Structure 1
């Protein structure tokens, strides 16, 4: 069933999507360079390091900020714009960057699910029936699925995702278990003989 027209359409769609991602990357790089040029990164650093509560206050503010921004931005914009601003601040506060990255990744994953711009919701809208139809197997009439029903159906998954963010924050060992078995070898004492 693979025809030349279908192949051309798939290549066009893939090229457009790849170009969108590259333009987002270029735009975020230009934004980042301009923002650093006017010392915006230092302003963000001073703003976030002065949050009351220290490390925990910073993590809570960043999680809430990322969650709210995910309503309007998708994963790519958050990853290319927000993470380069927050990463150095977390590093200066002494937060393990792998743990911080997992917290941000789990939090940004909600951007796929919550309205109004969640990609998963658009995928569901494209496959959900818009009109009532009769099921071929049972013969029952199936009512259409509205966009509002899809939005409300995503709420439990968003809550589960937020519980996971809180669990990763409260129990960092879920992510940083690799540090428990850290090597006790001092690299300066290693002697290599040939």
Structure 2
């Protein structure tokens, strides 16, 4: 359990922060950017939830919890030392990815195949879900870049990839099962 008695510590005033293993790094380090962007995704999900129905809201609540798990995973380097840690580090699990895949498949069953790319928008919920999708893609790009330099949990990377797909399909559902999607018309304004 986390206990936060004091919100500001002044330990980051010089531009550094502590990772989950206690090592201090620059706040602009790639690892901090990756899990910071995951936190940003979580905030966009909070905005999307202002426009949801019960089923979607419970799914988004689960995703928000997963995103905290993902941030905890990404803020803890040295996966090879997990067994030595005083407390077992929280790592993303394939079951979290599999849940997203099941939900994507269930939502996608209600949709007609796309015949054009769609523009972000439509209903307020769809627009917010598209924002969630694009911020998730940024988090994925940063995490993939991090993975070229340091070990990153494969399930964390896969989760981000599936999550952006989840947001895309959920946005189509939010647009009257795709009937209110805003279609891209190539060269329409030439």
- TM value normalised by structure 1: 0.27
Q: When the two structures are superposed, what TM-score results if normalisation uses the length of structure 2?
A: 0.27
Q: Which has the larger radius of gyration?
A: 1
Bigger relative contact order (CA 8 A; separation at least 6) = 2
Please identify which structure carries the higher helix content.
1
